[in-house]
Amino acid sequence: MVCRTLSILGSSGSIGRQALKVAESCGHQVAAITVNRSVELAEAQARRFRPRLAVAVDGAAAADLRVRLADTGVKVLSGQEGLLEAASIPDADTVVTAIVGVAGLRPTLTAIDHGKRIALANKETLVCAGELVMSRAKEAKAEIVPVDSEHSAIFQCLQGCRDRGEVKRLIITASGGPFYGKTCKELSLVTKEQALRHPNWSMGAKITIDSATLMNKGLEFIEAMRLYAMPPERIQIVVHRESIIHSMVEFEDGAILAQLGSADMCLPIQYALTWPERTTGPAKPLDLLSCPPLTFRKPDPDTFRCLRLALECAEKGGTSTAILNGANEAAVELFLNDKISFLDIPRLVERALDTVPMSDAPGLEEILDADRAARQAVYDFAR
Ligand code: NAD
Ligand code: MG
């Protein structure tokens, strides 16, 4: 049985909490946890898992957490330094990157530079800086194992494939989200509450909105290009409403391998920890006899403009994907705060892509500058 020692960045989130559930069920140790400001949850997690380090990024939250954990011997840190210390903590062999957004980029790079295995949930990192992240991982011999269910499915289907040249294409499945089949006119009327109700998955707010706009599928398209070094023409998105097949790989001989499972993130999280081994765990088993018929359809990037914009950036590369991502993060935040409408999200992202200057082969600072400029552009347009 594989027993790992984990640092969980973003332990209060949907993925972070499920990672702790997997750790408890499978006997992995926890060396560090981090939250943004959820102090009560961080206290409960620290008491239960006894990590060496607990981080609250927010300074006031960290001060509160320090008082709460005074009797435990758990070290409490704050800010970016705290995050980077959690990402590089010597006890941990594996870092689960479950922070949402580009805020996860620097800690992921730090964990990579320390040669940790990365159980990667934080897709925005690969979207903004995929080439940089993958080349740093190669240099440091850090394994990157995807947690995102589609990319985990592809990773699982690729086990035993000795020559990537045999892969004809990757087929990413999409649930289509809560608004599948709606027209632009209908989309102009949808509310935040409707957008937050995903038909198949329970996730954090940002990715739930991304799933409703289909930006999530666009981000996953770019994530797959970076993880598997695939050109865009060899990746296909297929709407599969049932979310039973999590993605597929088609090989040169015409064989298509698929990974099936219930809509439960515990399985891909667990596989990222135990790969190349498999163990029992908490994921809900799939009962084939109670599955609905499996259906496959074309996505509609004309109605779901965010998908179209992401596919265009996938072709363009450079800082365009960082601009796309930064603008989207800002627009989703405004939507969640009731400042803009659902269709303003693609509108504002498109305007940011039209105005923020792009460069071709960016380093880290250029990527972060592009991200900041894109956010600012969205806030300015929305004013
Ligand atoms: P979430 O909103 O539930 O949790 C986010 C976590 O990040 C929290 O612990 C929060 O405290 C922390 N955080 C937020 N802002 C931060 C900041 N500025 N600095 C440091 N920490 C910060 O999100 P989630 O749904 O768990 O998603 C996490 C990541 O995993 C995202 O990149 C998402 O795309 C990806 N992902 C999630 C799912 C899912 O089922 N939830 C599936 C696939 C991929
Ligand atoms: Mg996914």
pLDDT at position 227: 98
Mean pLDDT of 309-317: 98
pLDDT at position 84: 98
Whether the CB-CB separation of 59 and 83 falls below 8 Å is answered with no
Query: Which tens digits make up the pLDDT trace of 352-375?
Result: 999 999 999 889 999 999 999 999
For the CA of 208, the closest atom of ligand 1 is: 25
pTM: 0.98
For the CA of 125, the closest atom of ligand 1 is: 32
The mean of the pLDDT values for the chain is 97
Kindly report the number of other CB atoms within 10 A of residue 381's CB atom.
18
Nearest CA to ligand 1 atom 20: 36
Q: In the structure encoding, which two tokens stand for residue 23, read together?
A: 């750790």
pLDDT at position 361: 83
Which residue among 11, 12, 15, 80 is best mutated to probe the pocket of ligand 1, counting the most ligand atoms within 8 A of its Cβ? 15
For residue 150, report the distance from its CA to the centre of ligand 2, in Å: 5
> Please, what is the end-to-end C-alpha distance for the chain in angstroms?
55
For the CA of 203, the closest atom of ligand 1 is: 41
pLDDT at position 1: 76
CA distance 126 to 322: 9
**What is 5-146's CATH number, 3.40.190.10, 3.40.50.920, 3.40.50.720, 3.40.50.1820?**
3.40.50.720
Query: Which tens digits make up the pLDDT trace of 220-246?
Result: 999 999 999 999 999 999 999 999 999
Domain chopping of the chain, boundaries? 5-146, 152-316
pLDDT at position 2: 87
pLDDT at position 362: 86
Give the closest ligand to the alpha carbon of residue 224. 2
Query: Which tens digits make up the pLDDT trace of 110-161?
Result: 999 999 999 999 999 999 999 999 999 999 999 999 999 999 999 999 999 9
Task: Decide the pairing of beta strands 144-146 and 94-97.
Answer: unpaired
Question: Is the CB–ligand 1 distance for residue 16 below 6 Å?
Answer: yes
Question: Is the CB–ligand 1 distance for residue 10 below 6 Å?
Answer: yes
| Cβ-based neighbours of 235, under 8 Å, separated by 6 or more | 169, 170, 171, 172, 221, 224, 225
Residue 101 has pLDDT above 90, yes or no: yes
Question: Is the CB–ligand 1 distance for residue 125 below 6 Å?
Answer: no
Cα distances from 199 to residues 245, 259, 357, in angstroms, run 15, 20, 37
Mean pLDDT of 73-92: 98
Whether the CB-CB separation of 338 and 297 falls below 8 Å is answered with no
